[in-house]
């Protein structure tokens, strides 16, 4: 059985799902809507069984199902016991506590592995990446696909704080600010797209598609929404965020960054297990 993503929907559905799933902080629904829309725009052919690895609390997996990107998730895994329990409840599927570098699944069990914003957030950092990728390849059947989103190194330069500090000639502070932001987001593996290809391909995962995510305009919108976190009362901040998201920011959710050389904050990758 092959499930096909629903097609042709503009960003409103992704935005509506993101808003009902993550209401706070205000930048979150925007970020997640951009991600959901990037997945949807790939029109993935998702072959079951589908494993969501490093699934967190399962909210994104459920949003992918709601958005029609995948028909269902068959099982999940996360390092965090608390998240795994929450995900199991949310998805109504078995979610095990485990380590991406030593997966408790048999060889070739999965038609598709999802791994959203996790390969770049490995607790063990870059040192764990080869083992995690080898494990993903092992649990995929030949011809099966890994669908993963990761941030790219260019993200640092797109952060408003970094741009301001650089503009003031404070390069050291800009680097420190970027490092702090990465730490707070749990981002431990920083590479450009070529770096990801170079990590995936020796692991036997051939990158077939790469959908860029969040250009400079989208990142500016995200910064503005992040500021709303400081606004009180929260209800007002939420209402303003909704207005912005439904209005001037809505086109940014659907827009794929245009230029090849345009810096983008991240990418959704589709890689196939060769042989
Ligand atoms: C940014 S969260 C993303 C969660 C989820 N995929 C989502 O999109 O909401 C990164 C997740 O990776 C998990 N993680 C990091 N290193 C891991 C490892 N070595 N094994 C299993 N899970 C890991 C964390 O527990 C966390 O839930």
Mutate which of 36, 52, 54, 84 to test ligand 1's pocket (most atoms within 8 Å of Cβ)? 54
Q: Considering only CA atoms, which of 224, 254, 253 is closest in space to residue 240?
A: 224
Q: Which structural domains are found in the chain, ordered by start?
A: 3-153+188-273 (3.40.50.150)
Cα separations in angstroms, 144 against 21, 48, 155, 243: 29, 9, 29, 41
Nearest alpha carbon, ligand 1 atom 20: 99
Angle between helices 59-66 and 27-41 (to 10 degrees): 50
Q: Average pLDDT in the 11-21 region?
A: 94
pLDDT digits (tens, 9 = 90+) for 174-189: 999 999 999 999 999 9
Pairwise CA distance, residues 44 & 36, whole Å: 12
Which residues, in sequence order, are CB contacts of 172 under 8 Å at separation 6+?
none
Q: Is residue 80 a contact partner of residue 97, using CB atoms and an 8 Å limit?
A: yes
User: Ligand 1 mean position to 159 CA, how many Å?
Assistant: 23
What pTM did the predictor assign?
0.94
Nearest alpha carbon, ligand 1 atom 15: 122
User: Ligand 1 mean position to 125 CA, how many Å?
Assistant: 12
Instruction: Please give the pLDDT value at position 256.
Output: 75
Q: Check if 136 has its Cβ closer than 6 Å to any atom of ligand 1.
A: no
Q: Check if 117 has its Cβ closer than 6 Å to any atom of ligand 1.
A: yes
pLDDT digits (tens, 9 = 90+) for 30-66: 999 999 999 999 999 999 999 999 999 999 999 999 9
User: Ligand 1 mean position to 143 CA, how many Å?
Assistant: 25
Q: How many residues does the chain have?
A: 275
- Tell me if the bond preceding 25 is cis, omega within 30° of 0: yes
């Amino acid at each position: 059985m092959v499930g096909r993503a629903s097609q042709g929907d503009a960003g409103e559905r992704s935005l509506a799902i993101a808003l009902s799933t993550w209401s706070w902080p205000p930048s979150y629904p925007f970020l997640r809507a951009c991600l959901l829309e990037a997945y949807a725009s790939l029109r993935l052919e998702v072959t079951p069984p589908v494993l969501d690895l490093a699934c967190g609390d399962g909210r994104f997996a459920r949003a992918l199902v709601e958005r029609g990107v995948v028909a269902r998730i068959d099982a999940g895994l996360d390092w965090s016991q608390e998240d795994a329990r929450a995900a199991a409840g949310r998805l109504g599927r078995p979610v095990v506590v485990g380590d991406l570098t030593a997966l408790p699944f048999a060889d070739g069990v999965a038609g598709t592995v999802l791994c959203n914003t996790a390969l770049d957030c490995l607790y063990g950092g870059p040192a764990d990446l080869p083992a995690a990728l080898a494990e993903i390849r092992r649990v995929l059947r030949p011809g099966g696909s890994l669908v993963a989103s990761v941030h790219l190194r260019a993200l640092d330069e797109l952060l408003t704080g970094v741009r301001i500090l650089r503009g003031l000639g404070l390069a050291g502070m800009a680097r420190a600010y970027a490092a702090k932001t990465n730490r707070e987001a749990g981002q431990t593996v920083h590479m450009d797209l070529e770096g990801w290809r170079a990590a995936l391909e020796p692991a036997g995962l051939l990158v077939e598609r790469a959908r860029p995510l969040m250009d400079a305009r989208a990142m500016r919108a995200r910064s503005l929404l992040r500021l709303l976190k400081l606004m009180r009362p929260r209800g007002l901040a939420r209402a303003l965020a909704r207005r912005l998201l439904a209005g001037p920011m809505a086109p940014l959710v659907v827009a794929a960054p245009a230029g090849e050389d345009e810096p983008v904050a991240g990418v959704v990758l589709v890689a196939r297990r060769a042989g």
